[in-house]
Every structure is written in structure tokens, then in C-alpha cells.
């Protein structure tokens, strides 16, 4: 595994041990970094290539992938800018590491930027696992997702993201043509073993 500042994002890359598996793009939550989701990626897709960038926005010293005005209130101009920057990084990383399009595995802020990629730069991803996601854009553009597979896992007791918000994102992605599997778990905002098991089973079905 390598840690590098090459390309536009500080990131870590773990080469595939099983070339039949799609690579995972690991996108951390607020306060995480390029190391944060590596254990999760290894658990849900053993042997897959892992590409894990660090968000470039700092909020009180904590890395994020885009700015927000307040809890649940996003700077949508920054969402758009950062989504395009991340998509360009993915393109460059695919060339450098010789990867097919990755499946995003994002948690919280990372899941939200993954959703923004699907809505703004769908060619960057082969699909996505969105853990505790909400709509990154109030009025997303029309998009052709062509059946891209998306797994959304939300927590019924999540104090940050109400179920209706996750449902709205699922509807936005379905309207764009994504194949969305959505499940509500008996959980809060944090991840559980159920998230790990469901994500692993779903990803296994893509191989």
C-alpha cells in the first residue's frame, strides 16, 4: 500500500489482489482522512483495489470533501466545484494505477460527495455504496445514470439525517436511472456490523 501526494489529492492506494473485483473509492466522513475507511474497504471487498483520497476542505481543522454553512446546510457552489475536482482526480488515478471505474464507498460527508459525483459526473463511478447520505443538491441537474447500481443504508435513529432526506436522495437517483437498493437500519449515524455485512453482500453481487 502506498501513501502519496501525487495527483491532486493526498491519498492511499492498495493494489488489487483479485483483479475480478471492482476497485473501491473510499470517501471518509468529516474529520476522517485517507486512512479512515481502509479497514472497512478491506472488510467489505477483500482483495479489491482501494483508492482513498483525503478531503481538501478543512472545517475547524477536520477534513471534509466540501464546505457547509451549518449541519445539513451545504455550500452547493462548493459541492459542484469539489465534485468536479474529485472526478478529475479519479480520472488521473485510473490512468496512473490502471483501474477501471471504481465503486464509491462513502460515509456521511463522503457519501454525500459520492452522490454529487453520481449527479454531476456519473462517468466517474461504476456504482456507489452510500452510508448515511442525504441530497447534496436541492435541485440536481438531469442526469442519465443508465442503471448504475447504488446501495443506500440509512439509520432510523440518525440524529443528523432524517429518513425523509435519505428517501429524497434515493428518489433523485432513481429519477436519473440508477438502480437503487435502499435499506433503513436500526441504527444512528454511526456504522454498525449490519452496514458491513449488507455492503459486503451487495458488493459481492457486482463481481
Which residues belong to the active site?
A: 108, 158, 189
The total number of structural domains in the chain stands at 1
In order along its 207 residues, the chain shows pLDDT tens digits of 555 567 889 999 999 999 899 999 999 999 999 999 999 999 999 999 999 999 999 999 999 999 998 887 899 999 999 999 999 999 999 999 999 999 999 999 999 999 999 999 999 999 999 999 999 999 999 999 999 999 999 999 999 998 899 999 999 999 999 999 999 999 999 999 999 999 999 999 997
Determine the Cα–Cα distance for residues 166 and 194; give it in Å rounded to an integer: 18
C-alpha cell recorded at residue 99:
483501474
pTM, entire model: 0.96
Determine the Cα–Cα distance for residues 97 and 168; give it in Å rounded to an integer: 35
Q: What is the pLDDT of residue 71?
A: 80
Q: What is the pLDDT of residue 207?
A: 73
The domain that contains 47 carries what CATH number?
3.40.50.1820
Determine the Cα–Cα distance for residues 150 and 126; give it in Å rounded to an integer: 9
C-alpha cell recorded at residue 102:
471504481
Ranges of H-type helices in the chain: 38-44, 76-97, 109-120, 163-175, 193-204
Q: What is the pLDDT of residue 72?
A: 77
State the burial class of residue 62 (Cβ atoms within 10 Å of its Cβ: 0-12, 13-18, 19+): middle
The position carrying cell 448504475 is: 148
Q: What is the pLDDT of residue 2?
A: 57
**Residue range(s) defining the domain that contains residue 131:** 2-204
Determine the Cα–Cα distance for residues 22 and 19; give it in Å rounded to an integer: 8
Amino acid at each position: 500500500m502506498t501513501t502519496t501526494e501525487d495527483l491532486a489529492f493526498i491519498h492511499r492506494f492498495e493494489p488489487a489482489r483479485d483483479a475480478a473485483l471492482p476497485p473501491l473509492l473510499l470517501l471518509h466522513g468529516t474529520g476522517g482522512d485517507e486512512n479512515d475507511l481502509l479497514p472497512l474497504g478491506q472488510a467489505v471487498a477483500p482483495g479489491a483495489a482501494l483508492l482513498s483520497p483525503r478531503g481538501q476542505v478543512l472545517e475547524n481543522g477536520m477534513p471534509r470533501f466540501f464546505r457547509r454553512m451549518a449541519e445539513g446546510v451545504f455550500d452547493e457552489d462548493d459541492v459542484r466545484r469539489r465534485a468536479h475536482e474529485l472526478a478529475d482526480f479519479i480520472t488521473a488515478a485510473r490512468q496512473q494505477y490502471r483501474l477501471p471505474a471504481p465503486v464509491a464507498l462513502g460515509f456521511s460527508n463522503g457519501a454525500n460527495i459520492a452522490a454529487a459525483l453520481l449527479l454531476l459526473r456519473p462517468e466517474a463511478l461504476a456504482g456507489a455504496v452510500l452510508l448515511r447520505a442525504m441530497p447534496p443538491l436541492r435541485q440536481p441537474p438531469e442526469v442519465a445514470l443508465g442503471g448504475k447500481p447504488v446501495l443506500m443504508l440509512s439509520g432510523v435513529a440518525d440524529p443528523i439525517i432524517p429518513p425523509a432526506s435519505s428517501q429524497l436522495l434515493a428518489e433523485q437517483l432513481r429519477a436519473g436511472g440508477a438502480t437503487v437498493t435502499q435499506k433503513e437500519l436500526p441504527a444512528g449515524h454511526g456504522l454498525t456490523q449490519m452496514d458491513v455485512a449488507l455492503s459486503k453482500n451487495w458488493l459481492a453481487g457486482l463481481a
